[in-house]
Structure 1
Amino acid sequence: MTNIFPGLPLIESPLFPALKAEWGLSAEEERIATDLHEKGYAVFDFPDADLDGRIDRIQSHLGPRYGIDFADPQSDKTTRERRVQDAWQFDEDVRAIAANQAVLDLLSKLYGRRAFPFQTLNFPVGTQQDAHSDSVHFSSLPERFMCGVWLAMEDIGPDAGPLFYYPGSHKWPIMTNALIGRRGYGSDLASAQDPYAPAWQALREVHGAQEERFLPKKGQALIWCANLLHGGSRQNDPTLTRWSQVTHYYFDDCIYYTPAFSDEAIGKLALRNLVSIGDGEARPNRYMGEEVKQPAIIPNSPRRPAWQRKLLKRFRQLR
């Protein structure tokens, strides 16, 4: 069957049952594709023969950056820094996990466009973050061409604040400012996801959604769709660690932007200027093959959201 909906990832297409038979999927690839289509997430074993070594080196290299006393098994691990963003810029093992070719090939096959990694987050403990969809933080046009891969760097039990998610929630409406009646472009938020929390709560109640937790073994990974509602459980035992790495991926020939600070209907988009972690090359915003230029950035302001100040700084560095 011809894919008449190229503006949707293959695994989220309404034609998925017919299309998957023509992809030449292995049994394992078909299982992953079906789980993503039906549940919005899929679990797999991370394909890296040197993964244990990479994890040891990452923990040793990044450990001091968190300000946590890892040597004392009774110390509270939750009171200091919880994450390091974009450690791929200075840590080769973080970069290698993010740019794993087998994972890139799998995602590209399942989504129908070439995948590239653009952000990493490394955690020594759980986030204890409220339920949210990544689609308000980073989205694409066409929609849904974004996903995350969460890698367990140790065995994780129920008291360590495991990842949780709501199976099937990726099929719910994608939250936009227009949908909840707010203007986003130029706004300032302490948390980009706060305005959407009541809407997500209402959807959970109406659908009777049941939370599931991910209790992985070291080396297991989870792919989640752009709109899957997920978060971090409460950490019952503050002495435990929960080492993990998250890599976020976009796909070629899309517009990449931050919906929380955008108004799509009037063309006000907080565009992202991205570099692929894999090859270090820029990935320009494109719409059906045509490059979309970043609009002029007005002077900086202390009241500007942090993402705008960071973007302005980067823009000046590139000039």
Structure 2
Amino acid sequence: MKNVLPGVPHVESPFFKQLFSDPAIDDETRRIALDLAVKGYAVLDFPDAAFETKAEAIKADLLDHYDLEGWRAEGHRQGISLRVQDAWQFNERVRDIACNPHILALLSRLYGRQAWPFQTLNFPVGTQQHFHTDSIHFSSSPERFMCGVWVALEDINEENGPLVYFPGSHRWPIYTNEHVGLCVSQLGQTPTQALYEEMWRALVESHGAQPEYFHAKKGQALIWAANLMHGGSRQTDPMRTRWSQVTHYYFDDCAYYTPMMSDTFYGKIDFRKLTNIVTGEEMPQRYAGHAIPKGFVEACSTDAGHLLDEFDGKLYLEANPDVAAGNWNPAEHYLTHGRKEKRKLRP
């Protein structure tokens, strides 16, 4: 069938059945797709024959990057997490897991666009992180073209802080700053996800959502949708480790930004500058098949993106007849070109 909603991931599309009706799709892919569509997550064995060797090497290579002794003495009780972000930049085995070709092909089939990894996180212990959705940290336009793949580098049970998630919560609306009444541009401080936690707790209670815990075996992986409510449960035995790796993936032909740091209709969009871990290339910001002007990205990514209170589009066009002749939207021209060119705001 023709996909009449190309801006919706296949696994979250109202046309899911038609999009996955091809008899050439194997049973395992179909199972994973259905789990993602219904529950917002899917479990699979990580597809790498050398996984055991790579997992042990990652643990040995990264061990000195963490203060495990300090965490066991104080950090554990304080709910602090230990992590190394983007170890793919210096550890080839971390990069191998992030760039696994079978995972990339699977995600691309599930979402209907080419997947690419942009971030890795490596943990030696449980995160003990309040449940949250990745949609406030990593979002896209069109929305929901992001997912995480978590893989256990050792066996995990209730003692060493298993993942916790709320099945079906990925189907809830995506709530960002405007929904919780925040204008972060005027907040006076750097926002954190703590500003959302009361809302998330209320949502879970309102929906009567029940948590599930992933007691993973070494080598098991979990794919989760962008808006799935998930976190890290309390690690009851601080003497144990809980080695794992998370890789976050985006998909082609989107705009990529951080909603928690953005006030879209107040002139600030925190566009993310991202590297495709597979190719090493910076990924472009795109909208419906078209490149977003770099000037617009730069302007909206800084406080300069806010239009001056005295800005008047009609007067700006009168002061800049070449802009008027080019049929520009005056505000767009000012943000992308006029500000840098020091254009006059009025005649």
Pairing 1:89–2:89 present: yes
Q: How big is the shift at 1:57? A: 1.0
Pairing 1:295–2:329 present: no
Report the secondary structure of 2:21's partner residue.
helix
| Residue 188 to residue 254, structure 1, CA distance change in 2 (3 Å) | farther
Structure 1: gaps of 5 or more residues: 300-319
Contact 1:186 1:261 in 2 (8 A): no
1:200 is matched with 200
| Residue 56 to residue 69, structure 1, CA distance change in 2 (3 Å) | farther
Report the secondary structure of 1:247's partner residue.
strand
Mapping 1:89-128, distance limit 5 Å: 89-128=89-128
CA displacement 1:13-44 (0-9 Å, x = unmatched) = 01112221037321000000000000000000
Deviates further, 55-64 or 261-270: 261-270
Q: How big is the shift at 1:184? A: 2.7
Pairing 1:215–2:218 present: no
| Residue type at the aligned position of 1:203 | L
Contact 1:77 1:239 in 2 (8 A): no
* CA distance, structure 1, for counterparts of residue 23 and residue 187 of structure 2: 43
> TM-score when scaled to structure 1?
0.88
Contact 1:134 1:226 in 2 (8 A): yes
1:47 is matched with 47
| Residue type at the aligned position of 1:201 | R
Q: How big is the shift at 1:279? A: 1.1
Structure 2: gaps of 5 or more residues: 304-347
CA displacement 1:30-67 (0-9 Å, x = unmatched) = 00000000000000000111111111111111000102
2:226 is matched with 226
* CA distance, structure 2, for counterparts of residue 190 and residue 171 of structure 1: 28
| Residue type at the aligned position of 1:199 | M
Aligned Cα root-mean-square deviation (Å): 2.1
Matched residue count: 297
Contact 2:46 2:221 in 1 (8 A): yes
2:262 is matched with 262
Percent identity (aligned): 55
| Residue 81 to residue 8, structure 1, CA distance change in 2 (3 Å) | closer
| Residue 68 to residue 52, structure 1, CA distance change in 2 (3 Å) | same
Q: How big is the shift at 1:99? A: 0.5
Report the secondary structure of 1:36's partner residue.
helix
* CA distance, structure 1, for counterparts of residue 249 and residue 2 of structure 2: 26
* CA distance, structure 2, for counterparts of residue 298 and residue 5 of structure 1: 32
| Residue 266 to residue 210, structure 1, CA distance change in 2 (3 Å) | same
1:12 is matched with 12
Higher fraction of helix:
2
Contact 1:165 1:211 in 2 (8 A): yes
2:179 is matched with 179
| Residue 69 to residue 181, structure 1, CA distance change in 2 (3 Å) | closer
* CA distance, structure 2, for counterparts of residue 273 and residue 295 of structure 1: 11
Q: How big is the shift at 1:171? A: 0.5
* CA distance, structure 1, for counterparts of residue 22 and residue 6 of structure 2: 15
| Residue 191 to residue 269, structure 1, CA distance change in 2 (3 Å) | closer
* CA distance, structure 2, for counterparts of residue 161 and residue 191 of structure 1: 26
| Residue type at the aligned position of 1:263 | D
| Residue 152 to residue 114, structure 1, CA distance change in 2 (3 Å) | same
Report the secondary structure of 1:22's partner residue.
coil
* CA distance, structure 1, for counterparts of residue 178 and residue 154 of structure 2: 41
* CA distance, structure 1, for counterparts of residue 8 and residue 100 of structure 2: 24
